[in-house]
Every structure is written in C-alpha cells, then in structure tokens.
Structure 1
Amino acid sequence: MNKLVADSSLLFVAFIWGATFVIVQKAIEFLPPHLFNGTRFLLATLLLLLFVRKRFYLRITKELLISGVFLGFILFLGYAFQTVGLLYTTSSKAGFITGLSVMIVPLLSLWILKEKLRSIVIFSSIVGTLGLYFLTLSDISTVNVGDLLVLFCALAFALHIVFTSKYTKKHDALLLTIIQLFTVSLFSFFSSSIFESHSAISMEDFLHIDVIVALVITSIFATALAFLIQTKYQQITSAAKVALIFAMEPVFAAVTAFVVIQEVLSPNGILGCTLIFLAMILTEFPIVKLTNRKEFSK
C-alpha cells in the first residue's frame, strides 16, 4: 500500500508539472525565465517555512545543508540548461532530449546508488524513450549547441532524481526540500541579474493576471507541494521508477494543451502517449506475476 501511495503521489506530481506547462509559457512572455523561476521558488520556500516547527534551525546539520544545496544546485542547472537550450533548438527536440533522463536515471542508479537493474526496467525505459520520440517527433538527424545544452539539462534532472533517492533516506523531507528550493531561487536570481535585462520590466508585468496566476499555481502546487512529495516518497520507490513516472509529464502537458487551448494530438502523438503510459505500467508486471503465483499456490 505504501508503494502504491508513493507511485500515485509521484504520478500526481507529473500531472501538476504537465498541467502547468501552458500557464508558465504565458507568464514568461512578461517575465524573463530566470526571474520567474527565482520568484516562484522563493515563494515556495516561504510557503513551506510556514509548516516547520519553531527553532527548526537547530535540526539543520552541516550534512543536511550540503545535501540540500547540492540538490538545489543541480535542479537549478536543469532549469537553466533547458531555458538557454530552448533559444537554439526546437521545443519538440528539447522535450525529447529532456525526456532522455528516463534512460539516464537507471544507469546513474547502477553507478551511484548501486541499485540492481531489473530487465523490465531497462525495457520500460526503452519503450518510454520511444514514446517520447513519437510524442515530440524530434528530428535528431542534426545536432546543434541547443541540443547539447538540453542534454546537459536531462543529465541534471536525472542526477537530481538519483541524489534525491540517496539523501531523502538520511534527512527530514521538509527541511531538505526547503533548503534545495531556496538554493534554486538564489541561483535563479543571480543568473537573472547577469543574463537577463530588467530595464523593460515594470510592476505592471509582475501584476499581470497571467503572471500572478502562474506564480500562485506553480509556487504552491508545482514547486512547494511537488518537490515535497518527490523528496518524501522517493524514500519508498526506486529512482528508475520515478524517472518513468515523471515521463508522463509531457503526456499530461499534451492533454492539458488539448483541454485549455484545443491543441489536438496527431496519431503519432497519441501513439507516443500510449507507449509512455505502457512503459510506466510495465514496471509492475513482475510484481503482479509473482502475486498471482502466490495466490495460485494457495
């Protein structure tokens, strides 16, 4: 039951991220991406601070601080590489390359976490990657600097999943989440001050309805709640399984785009969504098979 709750909660996180993709796109028409992310992660940090007990700082150890800052830094790198990479490549190619973390996480888990890889997980990762290709219909015949940057983004997100599995077993989930989100905020604001122009940004931009809605929804649900759930429930499930569950994010994004802006999926897109969903389900097949054998033996 605990594993079912964990997987369902992580699937809910993928749904939140996919569902908020459209509103984030609208918001960054008014605010630069790094500035938006800095504000979003800062608001999420302040929100989570409301739920910690008094004198919580007494529980912050050096090891907890280092772990949280490290997770926050690689999470920031994921967002930063993706944002800059999108300036030089297409959204479809970026979506596919980012999704390659589905393949990268099992390999990193084997190397860093010493997790034994089941053959069904490897097969599911391949099916999920194939699904991502059909969903995005990426032209991978040519590679440019943007594609390379987005590949670094995929590696960063994969590292974040793997090291979250490592650190969440050692530290308090809430404090670990707060530290990493605040770290992302600091690095985002710093990057914004260097790489983004603020001369044309006014208070009206911050108060635009699309920006306010995006900041409220993403800071509460797609940041504070989502990363707290990920940090907490990765104690129960494997990093490779988390990567497969998170591969559902573009599927939920496609469904949301259809509902909100009537963006219709092509037959290839539907095939891609089906393959990604199948890849996630496949990882449970050995467990189901084993259960049925036990029931038959009775």
Structure 2
Amino acid sequence: MSKLKQIKADLALLAVAFVWGITFVVVQDALSGIGPYYFIGIRFAIAFLFLGLIYWRRLLNLSPGAIKAGIIIGIFLFAGYAFQTVGLKYTTASNAGFITGLAVILVPLFSAIVSRKIPGPAVAAGVISATLGLALLSLGDNLSLNFGDILVFFCAISFAGHIILVGKYAPSYDPAALAILQIGVVAIISLACGAALETMPEQFTRPVWIGIFSTAIPATALAFLIQNSVQRYTTPTHTAIIFIMEPVFAAGAGWLLAGEILTARQWLGCLLILLGMLISELKGLLNIKAFKKTETG
C-alpha cells in the first residue's frame, strides 16, 4: 500500500468527517422550516438520483440477494438518520455529534454479543469510559436525560447495526450498487413517513434549502462516493479513528455557528467519550500490528 495514497485517503476521509460534523448545525436550522421525515426523504432522494446517474449501469443486473441486502441495510440506515434528525429538534448539535459517535464503540460490543465472546479489556474499558462520558454530557443537574439525547442514542445503535451489516454484505455485492440501494430505501421510507405524519411546507425557507443541498450532495452522495473510493487505501481501524473527529467537528460547529456553550462537566464528558472510542479502536490497530509481526516471524 503506497504511503502517499494512504495519506491522501486519510485526508479525504477526514474531509468526510468534517462535512458530517458541521451538518449537525445546518440540519438543526433546517428543521425550523420542515418536518424531519420530509427533510431526510428529500435529502436522500436527491442523493439517490445523483449516484444513480453516475452508477446506473451497475443497477441493471442486480441479483435478488443484492436487493435484499440493500433493503435490510437501508432500514438500519433510515433508523439511524430518523432518530438523529428527530433528536436534533430536542437537543444540541454538540450533544448529537458526540452521542452519534458512540456507534464506534457499539460495533465491537455488538459483534462480541453476536459471536458470544466476552469483550476484551480494551473494549470493556472503552465502553465504561464512553458511558461515563455520555452521562456527564447528557444528564442535567437533576440527573434527567434530555429526550433528544435518548433519541440520538438510538441513532448510534442503528448506525452500529448499519456498520455491521455493511461489513457482512459488502464483500459479496457491488459496493456502489449497494450504497445506491440503501440510499433509495431511506428516501422511500422517509417520504412515506413524511406523507403520513407531517405537512409539506408551502414554500421552503432559506435554512431548509441550505440544509437540503449541503447534506444531499456533499454529506450523503459525495461522502459515500469518497468513502467507497478511498477506503481501499487505508485500514478500517484507521478509518474509524479518523471518523472519531466527526463529533469534535460537530461540537466546534455548534460553538462557532450556533453559539452553543458546553459546561466544564460536559467537556469532561466529551473527552471521556473520545477516550473510550480511541481505546476501543487503538486496540484493534494493535491487534493488526501484532498479527503482521507474527506473520513475518
């Protein structure tokens, strides 16, 4: 693997994490003028059309297995974005960013449950650190959870399931076609929920337009394209560590663009969550290095 290619891949993935991080504030602003389900539906419909125009040839000979996999993965992706977007109506962009980042820890935890293996000390330490951080970040002075924080935690669970399912199905099917399928599933379910539960605005406000077009192409279509294109030049563990920066960017955008201010206790919570993510992911990196060392004798 070329070192230069890996550096370029890391920078591209860091750009994806940056875009994802700053869109928390943009989405929160957009929700003042449109329902969350219609917002998600329009966002993903535009992304679906954009990617479909690029990769339409790959959609011509989809197998039943690929379609089934795309639907299953898409349902989890929809759940993640639905919980996250609705949750943003009741919590801050900073909180949502950090809680969403817990998916990085939940992946090895869920994998251990599925495989019926007790998590190793590093994973356990990471979970404990992140749980304490989540409590400090989200619990108020009266030890009560914000409703939005609870919804975003379910978002993290859904995204963890999405990551595990992508890891299961992606090696067997075309990654681009699988991405388009799951994006299409999210668009269809979201628009259906919007039609049943919300009222489409007669006209879109400026924040709604900004939110739709800043998330549909850069944060959805292009982000998927970049990730699928460059991740082959770096390791999954390295990718996960880079994506830990997403909640940091979310907190920075919340402070800079929305005037959100975290208390000292909440900052400590953020640091514990980041520490938990790093412990869990660096453990995987050390295992890879140890394996390579064993291979070379």
Give the partner amino acid of 2:282: E
Distance in 2, matches of 1:261 and 1:100, equals 23
Residue in structure 1 matching 2:62, options 60, 63, 77: 60
Is 1:16 aligned with 2:15? no
Distance in 1, matches of 2:24 and 2:186, equals 19
**C-alpha displacement of 1:220:** 1.2
Give the partner amino acid of 1:17: W
Indicate the residue corresponding to 1:255 in structure 2.
Answer: 252
**C-alpha displacement of 1:25:** 1.0
Indicate the residue corresponding to 2:111 in structure 1.
Answer: 109
Question: SS of 2:182's equivalent?
Answer: helix
Give the partner amino acid of 1:101: A
Contact 1:164/1:231 (8 A) holds in 2:
no
Q: What's the TM-score, normalizing by structure 2?
A: 0.76
Contact 1:72/1:180 (8 A) holds in 2:
yes
Distance in 2, matches of 1:284 and 1:156, equals 23
Give the partner amino acid of 1:188: S
Deviations 1:125-169 (A, max 9, x none): 433343343344457955798776555433322211111111222
Contact 1:113/1:166 (8 A) holds in 2:
no
Indicate the residue corresponding to 1:226 in structure 2.
Answer: 223
The within-5 A match list for 1:20-169 is: 20-52=23-55, 55-83=57-85, 90=91, 98=100, 100-112=102-114, 118-137=120-139, 141-142=143-144, 151-169=153-171
Distance in 2, matches of 1:231 and 1:31, equals 31
Contact 2:59/2:177 (8 A) holds in 1:
no
Give the partner amino acid of 2:35: P
Indicate the residue corresponding to 2:183 in structure 1.
Answer: 181
Q: Figure out how many residues of one structure are paired with residues of the other and give that number.
A: 283
**C-alpha displacement of 1:103:** 4.2
Identity among equivalent pairs (%): 41
**C-alpha displacement of 1:263:** 2.9
- The 1:277–1:104 alpha-carbon spacing in structure 2 relative to 1, beyond 3 Å, is closer
Distance in 1, matches of 2:29 and 2:195, equals 22
Alpha-carbon RMSD across the aligned residues, in angstroms, is 3.8
Q: What's the TM-score, normalizing by structure 1?
A: 0.76
Question: SS of 1:20's equivalent?
Answer: helix
Give the partner amino acid of 1:266: T
- The 1:171–1:255 alpha-carbon spacing in structure 2 relative to 1, beyond 3 Å, is same
Query: What runs of 5+ residues in structure 1 fail to find an aligned partner?
Result: none
**C-alpha displacement of 1:174:** 1.2
Deviations 1:57-91 (A, max 9, x none): 3331111111111111111122334455667x655
- The 1:245–1:163 alpha-carbon spacing in structure 2 relative to 1, beyond 3 Å, is farther
